[in-house]
Each structure stands twice: as C-alpha cells, then as structure tokens.
C-alpha cells in the first residue's frame, strides 16, 4: 500500500473546531480594510446561499494589526504572536476550498472524505495502512479540549466500515486517560488477565465458527486495553516534564486544556503513536462582542492556542522529530469578508461561514517551510490562483506518509472506497 518513499511517519492534526477567521489571522487584505462598511458587491451574493446571512451585508475589514514575519515575510496578524516565531516552519495554503458551509458536514468532509456519516476517518485510514509503531498504545489517539465534542461527533474520528480496531481512541488529560480501561474495584491485574483469557477463548471459538472479523477485532481490543493499562498512564502523565517545558507550553499537570493536549501530542508522537488528532472547540466567531468577537474574543482564544502549538513545533524540532511528523492546522471552512447579515438585536455580528476560500497550514513531515501557496482576490471572496480542494489536502497528507491515495482502498458493499472519494490530487509544490 506504500508505493512512494514515506517522508513522514506520523501525523498530528490540530483541528480548530468551528473554523478560525482566516481574514483576521493569515490573509492580509488592505483593500478590504479600505472598503470596510461598504455594501457587499452583488457579484458575490447573486445565486449564493449562506448559513445565516440574508440581504446585502456590509464588507468587514480586519481590525487586527499586521506584519510580515520570518525570512520569507509571511503575513500574520497580531492575534497569533507566537506563530510569528515558527513562520519559517510553516507551509501556508491560502487557497483551500470545500463543498460544505455547515459545521458537521464540512468537518466530516475534511476527516472522512464525505459530508455524510459512516465513512472511515483519516486517522483510521492511516492506521489501517500503516499500523502502529507501539504495540502497547493505540495507533490513533484523539484529544479534545474546551469541553465539547467535534462538530461531526465521534464520526470525525470513527472507523466507519473499517474494522473498529482502527477507530480513534479518545484519551483524557484529566482523570483516567481512557474510560473503562482501569480495573474495576476489587479486581487486580492478575485477575483481569485470567478474565481476559476466558473471554478470548470464548471469542476465538465464536470466530472459528462464524468467521466474523469483528470478533477478532474484539479479541485484539481487549488485549490492547490490557497492555494500555500500563503504557497509557505513563505517557499521559506530564508531571515528569521539566518546569521549563511546562512553561513553554503553558501546561499544568492534571489540568484539561489545549496546552496540556499539545504537550501530550509530543509525548504520544515520541512514543510512536501514528496519528494524533487534537480537537479544540470555540472557533465559530459569529460575534464581535467581548467574548465572541474578532478583537478581544479572538485575542483570548488565540492566546490559548498559538503558544502551545508554537511550543509543540519547536519541541519536535529540538528532539529531531519534526521532519518525520507532519503537523496540520486548520478548520472545516473559512469566514466571510462581510459582516454576517441577520437580525442581531442591534448588535454588530461577526463573520458567517464561507466555503469558497480559506487558509490552512502544515509543518514538518517533508513540506516546505516559510512557504505560501495560492491566494485569494483582494477582498478575500474568491481563489485568485492555485486552488486546493479538501480532497487535494487529503491526497497530499497520504502522499507524505507513502501512500498513493487512489490505491489506499477498502471494499465495502461491492465498492472500493477511499478517503479522497473520486477526487483529489497531490499538491507537489508543497513538498520540499
């Protein structure tokens, strides 16, 4: 299944659930700022449907301050000051586009290749093709911060019609890392082993008689859970990290936060976990008020995000792991260049959902650092050059792991399915 030499061995995917406003972070649009408050041109509204906007909304330039950073002068706003320090590691794609403008289907399209539930997620495809590097840990681990599940629910990290051994295992940074993996009260490890042996004998007998692959998966999962009892608590306990490392991430042992999850991502990567997926909810900026707006609200949210992610990139580089670890950062779609138009009770609203153009970035794993690809028009409405569809991103990620995305398939109900569905091409200009 791996016809290409693999550049990356593993992936850490950093999903900003809700989708960050690219026009306030990475896409500097002076003309949009100049025309702030003007009616949106009809050409961008005719025949279009938006999630919340009706009528003729007003253009909205970014209120952020902008500067060029890194050796190649990448534009970034003041909302992400720590990203300025890792600009030379970042491969920024300004010309992403998708087919969906509502959260759940858009997120499912990014992770499963389809806007409908039931397909295997990207992490499941990767572990199906490559397996795990550590037999005592899952090949695919999911970490969730901000207390909210992904918009696509567990389908965003599910195995779909692949054997369930390939689904993402959600680990918690506070309390027991994996629910129900601990021994029940009154049962020690030896008794647990005897119980599993008896269960495995029964399951093996059923597998021999019925030949159902999920029975073998059940045996494998029980055995993995037993091994995880020792390995997972060790890798998930960050109390042995130096104070310097904890401070760099902003992590606090025992807490539940994106900072802790970023540090855990490094530890899981170091331990050989193939695919680590971090979901962080709270990036759906419809408002401009203190909590949900594009000034204070975005500043506060970015402050909890750019410091630990920048620390993750630096830490992986220092440990010699970045070149073989592909970092992916982004949301499920973009945000409009105009103020959201709906009844607002007198309040000025923020940016609506927008699928036509948005920004994502990658780092490490054999992609070009300090590099920008594609761009939108001067107002941020349309792709001006080098479009990249979600399926193209998926194809490129798989390519870096050594796959031909058209050949990584699984037959289900008489059809060969793949992550990139029937589309997708590798964007080779992103590869170093």
383 part of a folded domain: yes
C-alpha torsion sign, points 305, 308, 313, 314: positive
287 or 31, greater pLDDT: 31
Total domains in the chain come to 1
Residue 346 reports pLDDT greater than 70: no
1 part of a folded domain: no
147-161, 252-266, 278-292, 387-401: which is most confident? 387-401
Residue range of the domain that includes 143: 10-430
d(CA 40, CA 309): 35
Residue 195 is predicted with a pLDDT of: 67
pLDDT digits (tens, 9 = 90+) for 46-97: 989 898 888 899 999 999 999 999 999 999 999 999 999 999 999 999 999 9
- Residues facing residue 431 across a β-bridge: 367
Angle 390-400/103-112 helices, nearest 10 degrees? Answer: 30
Residue 6 reports pLDDT greater than 90: no
Closest CA relative to residue 385, chosen from 96, 99, 68, 32:
96
Give the pLDDT mean for 169-194.
64
218-227, 388-397, 419-428: which is most confident? 388-397
> What CATH number is given to the structural domain containing 148?
3.40.720
Whose structure tokens read 């918009």?
A: 151
Mean pLDDT of the chain: 89
Residue 1 is predicted with a pLDDT of: 45
306 part of a folded domain: yes
Whose structure tokens read 């001006």?
A: 384
Q: Which helix (H) or strand (E) holds 273?
A: none
pLDDT band at 148 (very low <50, low <70, confident <90, very high): confident
248 part of a folded domain: yes
Angle, vertex CA 97, rays to CA 96 and CA 101, nearest 5: 135
pTM: 0.89
4 part of a folded domain: no
Tokens encoding 417: 């399915």
Give the pLDDT mean for 371-388.
98
Angle 103-112/122-130 helices, nearest 10 degrees? Answer: 10
146 part of a folded domain: yes
58 part of a folded domain: yes
Give the pLDDT mean for 371-392.
98
Residue 196 is predicted with a pLDDT of: 64
Residue 207 reports pLDDT greater than 50: yes
Closest CA relative to residue 363, chosen from 79, 156, 70, 166:
70
Give the pLDDT mean for 364-374.
98
Closest CA relative to residue 189, chosen from 151, 141, 148, 225:
225
- Residues facing residue 14 across a β-bridge: 278, 329
What is each CA distance from 263 to 6, 270, 328, 361, 408, in whole angstroms?
25, 11, 16, 20, 31
Share of the chain above pLDDT 90, in %: 69
116 part of a folded domain: yes
pLDDT digits (tens, 9 = 90+) for 176-187: 656 555 656 666
162, 120 Cβ separation under 8 angstroms:
yes
Residue 108 reports pLDDT greater than 90: yes
pLDDT band at 136 (very low <50, low <70, confident <90, very high): confident
Residue 289 is predicted with a pLDDT of: 60
Residue 226 reports pLDDT greater than 60: no
Residue 146 is predicted with a pLDDT of: 84
397, 390 Cβ separation under 8 angstroms:
no
pLDDT band at 276 (very low <50, low <70, confident <90, very high): very high
């Amino acid at each position: 299944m791996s016809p290409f030499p693999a550049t990356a061995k593993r992936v850490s995917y950093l999903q900003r659930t809700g989708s960050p406003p690219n026009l306030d972070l990475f896409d500097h649009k002076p003309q949009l700022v100049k025309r702030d408050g003007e009616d949106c041109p009809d050409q961008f509204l005719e025949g279009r449907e938006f999630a919340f906007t009706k009528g003729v909304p007003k253009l909205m330039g970014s209120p952020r301050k902008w500067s060029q950073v890194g050796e190649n002068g990448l534009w970034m706003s003041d909302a992400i000051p720590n990203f300025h320090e890792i600009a030379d590691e970042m491969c920024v794609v300004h010309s992403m586009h998708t087919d969906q403008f509502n959260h759940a289907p858009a997120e499912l399209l990014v992770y499963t290749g389809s806007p409908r539930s039931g397909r295997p997620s990207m992490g499941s495809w990767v572990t199906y093709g490559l397996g795990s590097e550590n037999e005592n840990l899952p090949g695919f681990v999911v970490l969730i911060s901000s207390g909210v599940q992904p918009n696509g629910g567990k389908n965003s990290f599910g195995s779909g019609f692949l054997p369930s051994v390939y689904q993402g295992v959600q680990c918690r940074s506070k309390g027991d890392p994996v629910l129900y993996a601990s021994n029940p009260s009154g049962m020690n490890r030896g008794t647990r082993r005897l119980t599993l042996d008896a269960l495995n004998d029964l399951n093996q007998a059923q597998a021999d008689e019925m030949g159902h692959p999920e029975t073998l998966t059940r045996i494998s999962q029980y055995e993995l859970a037993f091994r995880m009892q020792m390995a997972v608590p060790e890798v998930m306990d960050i109390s042995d990290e130096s104070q310097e490392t904890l401070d760099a991430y902003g992590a606090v042992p025992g807490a539940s936060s994106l900072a802790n999850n970023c540090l855990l991502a490094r530890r899981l990567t170091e331990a050989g976990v193939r695919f680590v997926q971090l979901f962080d909810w709270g990036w759906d900026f419809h408002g401009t008020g203190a909590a949900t707006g594009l000034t204070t609200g975005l500043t506060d949210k970015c402050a909890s995000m750019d410091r630990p992610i920048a620390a993750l990139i630096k830490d992986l580089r220092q440990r010699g792991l970045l070149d073989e670890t592909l970092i992916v950062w982004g949301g499920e779609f973009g945000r409009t260049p105009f103020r959201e138009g709906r009844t607002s009770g007198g309040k000025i609203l923020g940016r609506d959902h927008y699928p036509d153009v948005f920004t994502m970035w990658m780092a490490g794993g054999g992609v070009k650092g300090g590099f920008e690809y594609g761009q939108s028009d001067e107002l941020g409405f349309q792709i001006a050059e080098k479009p990249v569809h979600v399926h193209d991103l998926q194809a490129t990620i798989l390519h870096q792991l050594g796959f031909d995305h058209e050949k990584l398939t699984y037959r289900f109900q008489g059809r060969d399915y793949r992550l990139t569905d029937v589309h997708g091409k590798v964007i080779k200009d992103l590869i170093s």
